[in-house]
Amino acid sequence: MMPRLFISLGVVISICISCDEGGGMSGGEPVIELLAPTTLTISNLGQNSFRVEWSSVTGADFYEVTIASDDLFDNTVSPYNELRENSTGLNVSNLEMSTEYFIRVRTVIDDQRSDYSITQTVTTLSEPDGEPDIALKEVATTFKVGMAVRASRLNGLHAQILEKEYNSLTSEFEMKMNIMYPRQGDYDFSKADAIVNYAEEHGMQVHGHALIWHAATPSWVENFAGTDQEFEDMVKDYITTTVSRYRGRVVSWDVVNEAFADGSGNLRNSVFLQRMGPDYIKKCHEWTRAADPDVLIFYNDYNMVTDDTKRKAALSLMDEFIRDGVPVDGFGFQMHIAYNGPSRSRIQSAANEVIDRELLLHFSELDVRANPGNDLSSLTDTRAEAQKKKVKEVVEVYNGIPDQYKFALTVWGLRDDESWLLDFWGQADWPLLYDKNFALKKAHTGFVEALQ
């Protein structure tokens, strides 16, 4: 008798039925023949990684995946030698560039294994030619391109890139009160002078950042022993002294930075609010304009795209200033964002609220986190492409606003390993346009493509 085949739930059961010597029927034990996955597909191919997915087999307990560098599977790649996988897909990494790999999968049910699937081949990508080396300031024809700097990094490769790429500088932290006015009656403008002098020597503008910021307040100011009026006089003297020193040399100032609390329309409970009252921002703007009648005055804050309540409260204060004749020229969105948000439409909508008030808009501190979920140990090609897309969206939105409301788009740091985000979040990330080796990234190309 011929064997009869019963196919059920991805398992082939072969039962051999034969006649005994007396002509009777004798049934043999079922022989289980497992099915292997019928298809293998490759995606997310990179220089040292790819993803493999296979069709499911009903009833499978798990699958064994083997990857090798030869078609006989004599040279398997660790740890992918009959690697157990409960799902129907696997991210493969730590491979060699420009190398052909062979993949096969088999099904396991209980202690039985199927034959191997068909063998799939894939070749990892080669070393890229590199991103196009196009200077940002050459393609940004309707606004300034800025960079956050430190006085100690105005030399070497930093200086070469600054001079090639940028025409606007912002001090990362050395033009804040705790650095410029560390002790009462004792100013220290050495770092600020170095930045301003460097900018003038290389034909760059300087955006002053920031006269008043709660997180950069010297301890002697926090613990000021005089009366409230003496405190106010001290702040006025500090602003007047600083702005006058750079009159005609610093084109603009973030006068009061981050004055509103997160998630509310309330002013942050800083020492300036406590000692000077809710009009302290108005007074600081007026003292700045008195010290330099031509300087541009900005209000600057973070989460201006995502925190609607906070943004509307800040813009409402700007409305009051415009109505009452209090000096204000522009509004800064810090733009500390991520590859997966906020959306382009939300950025555009928030930008429109500033433009509707006929204020200058400054995208003032752009960085784009590539690892907000802490799911990467290195920057993958896929994530780098997503970061590039977000940078491109941001620049396209900014470039699309009417020219008369553009001020500058400032990137908050030159290369990945120098970003403030690493210490702030305590995890790996690659949020800038250059990598740690001063090499251009896809994010830089996204910036350029948005302007071409």
Residue 127 is predicted with a pLDDT of 66
- Residue given tokens 């002790």 in the structure block: 183
Token pair of 143, please? 């606004």
The per-residue b/e assignment along 387-402, b for 16 or more CB within 10 angstroms, e otherwise, is bbbbbbbbbbbbbebe
In the predicted model, is pLDDT for residue 1 greater than 70? Answer: no
In the predicted model, is pLDDT for residue 384 greater than 90? Answer: yes
Phi, psi (degrees; rounded to nearest 5) at 79? -95, 25
Residue 369 is predicted with a pLDDT of 98
Half-sphere exposure of 232 (CA within 13 A, CB side): 16
d(CA 214, CA 279): 16
Ranking 4-8, 107-111, 141-145, 443-447 by mean pLDDT, the lowest is: 4-8
Q: Report pLDDT digits (tens) over 40-60.
A: 999 988 888 999 999 999 999
386 within 8 A of 340, measured Cβ to Cβ:
yes
Per-residue DSSP letter, 81: S
Q: Report pLDDT digits (tens) over 141-172.
A: 999 999 999 999 999 999 999 999 999 999 99
Give the residue-averaged pLDDT of 92-110.
Answer: 94
d(CA 422, CA 427): 6
User: Mind giving me the DSSP string for 305-352?
Assistant: TT-HHHHHHHHHHHHHHHHHT----EEEE--EEETTBS-HHHHHHHHH
Give the residue-averaged pLDDT of 305-324.
Answer: 98
Q: Report pLDDT digits (tens) over 213-265.
A: 999 999 999 999 999 999 999 999 999 999 999 999 999 999 999 999 999 89
* Residue 37 preceded by cis peptide, ω within 30: no
Between 144 and 111, the higher pLDDT residue: 144
- Partners of 65 in beta bridges: 83, 105
CATH 2.60.40.10 fits 35-123, yes or no: yes
Residue 11 is predicted with a pLDDT of 40
Query: In which band, very low, low, confident or very high, does the pLDDT at 342 lie, cut at 50, 70 and 90?
Result: very high
Give the residue-averaged pLDDT of 423-430.
Answer: 98
Q: Residues near 410 by Cβ (< 8 Å), separated by ≥ 6?
A: 145, 146, 147, 148, 168, 170, 207, 362, 363, 364, 365, 366
Residue 160 is predicted with a pLDDT of 96
Q: Residues near 214 by Cβ (< 8 Å), separated by ≥ 6?
A: 258, 268, 270, 271, 272
- Partners of 112 in beta bridges: 109
Q: Report pLDDT digits (tens) over 274-297.
A: 999 999 999 999 999 999 999 999
Query: In which band, very low, low, confident or very high, does the pLDDT at 128 lie, cut at 50, 70 and 90?
Result: low
Other Cβ atoms less than 10 A from the Cβ of 64: the count is 18
Q: Report pLDDT digits (tens) over 9-41.
A: 334 333 333 334 444 444 454 545 689 999 999
In the predicted model, is pLDDT for residue 84 greater than 80? Answer: yes
Query: Terminus-to-terminus CA distance in the chain, angstroms?
Result: 76
Cα 292 to Cα 211, 236, 238, 243: the distances in Å are 14, 13, 14, 7
Q: Residues near 289 by Cβ (< 8 Å), separated by ≥ 6?
A: 295, 297, 327
Cα 333 to Cα 239, 386, 397, 409, 410: the distances in Å are 23, 21, 13, 10, 10
Give the residue-averaged pLDDT of 77-104.
Answer: 94
Residues of the chain with CATH 3.20.20.80: 136-451
In the predicted model, is pLDDT for residue 322 greater than 60? Answer: yes
d(CA 245, CA 66): 69
Q: Which residues are catalytic?
A: 258, 365
Cα 267 to Cα 93, 229, 297, 332, 356: the distances in Å are 49, 20, 19, 17, 23
Query: In which band, very low, low, confident or very high, does the pLDDT at 125 lie, cut at 50, 70 and 90?
Result: confident
CATH no. of 136-451: 3.20.20.80
Cα 320 to Cα 129, 314, 323, 375: the distances in Å are 53, 10, 5, 45
Residues of the chain with CATH 2.60.40.10: 35-123
